[in-house]
Amino acid sequence: MSSSIKVNLEKDSYDIIFDENFVESAMALIAISSKCMFITQEIIYEAFEEKFSVLKSLPNVEFHLIQQGEKAKSIDTVIEICDKMAMMHFDRSSTVFAVGGGVVGDTAGFVASIFMRGIDYFQYPTTLLAMVDSSIGGKTGVNLSSGKNLIGRIHQPKAVIVDVSFLDTLPQREINASLAEAIKYGFIYDRELFNYIVENISDILSGKNHTVLKKIILRSCEIKSEVVSMDVNEDNIRMILNFGHTIGHALEGYFEYKKLLHGEAILYGMKCALYLSHTIGNLSEKDYHASLKALSAFTLPAIDLKDKGSIIEFVKRDKKFRESQIRFVLISEIGKAELSTEITLNHIEESLGVL
């Protein structure tokens, strides 16, 4: 265990712990739990089968594997897991372990939030995206056919345990996409982090440099914990974490969660948000071009937006669309974000022209 960060939420406070031994860490938690449900995916289980087999042999441990992709984040998946836990006599003293990326974390966290009106859970993120973002903050939920994360709750984990060795098997495309959330923190909160990622981008994308990655993960976790601690229910400042997400989520839905990874959609969403920050907001020409140059280092699949009206329909379903008004995240300079109510659907449709 090298370090930890406290997410300060009074009675719901917890630590983000950096630990390089997943099995040892999990066994310590299993030893003080009653029944334990590990929720993960087959591809993760197969990649780390030796580690999982040790845990699976324990008498109070059960495993449930969910499907890949955003389609797995459904109410049907949640009901299936809850039914399984009920039949196995899990109770309010039982514990859920989420071992995976955002899909696993969001689904397992939502299961924990509603089973027996709420039980404990631990997050073990296995992707860079989950390590820097989705595992922290207590957001849980599943998708509907009409939009992403429309059913969910805020339910804080007991701890988030980060083992960077999970990244060793992560495909290069995943690393590339996941850095979107990390550079987002640079855009909205920390210019030094932005500069550090830009300076080290080639090393990160080519060699999965653990020293560099650990520094980025650590700082990203610090930033998210600071923001979440100030606004646990996403009523105000926490919304800056959605920079690039309003349009990014719409693009994911438009392509039916098949063409773009989440981080790739957010990268495209940030391009649109930067355009609006420059043309409608106060982002300077210099910072705008520096931002675009930074994003150009990322490899993205080509997209063809034939029906912009459909994308706008997805934007309307976004949780940040309230009383026919969008609370849109802009940046006034690299490292400083602001919420704007001046961005219209016409502005958003215009911004899609930069993609």
317 touches 147 (CB < 8 A): yes
Closest by Cα among 110, 99, 109 to 43: 99
242 is catalytic: yes
- Tell me the residue type at 188: I
249 is catalytic: yes
By residue count, the chain amounts to 355
Q: Which of 155, 184, 238, 319 is catalytic?
A: 238
245 is catalytic: yes
In a 13 Å sphere around the CA of 27, the CA atoms on its Cβ side amount to 12
24 touches 54 (CB < 8 A): no
- Cα–Cα dist 10/299, whole Å: 41
Q: Which of 184, 262, 271, 278 is catalytic?
A: 262
E strand or H helix at 311? helix 308-316
- Cα–Cα dist 298/178, whole Å: 10
Q: DSSP 3-state helix, strand, coil percentages of the chain (rounded to 5)?
A: 55, 20, 30
234 is catalytic: yes
4, 47, 174, 183, 301 from 165: Cα distances, Å: 17, 12, 15, 21, 27
316 is catalytic: no
342 is catalytic: no
278 is catalytic: no
238 is catalytic: yes
Q: Which of 64, 155, 219, 249 is catalytic?
A: 249
Q: Which of 11, 89, 117, 306 is catalytic?
A: 117
Q: Which of 51, 139, 148, 219 is catalytic?
A: 139
Q: Which of 181, 252, 264, 333 is catalytic?
A: 181
Active-site positions read 117, 139, 181, 224, 234, 238, 242, 245, 249, 262
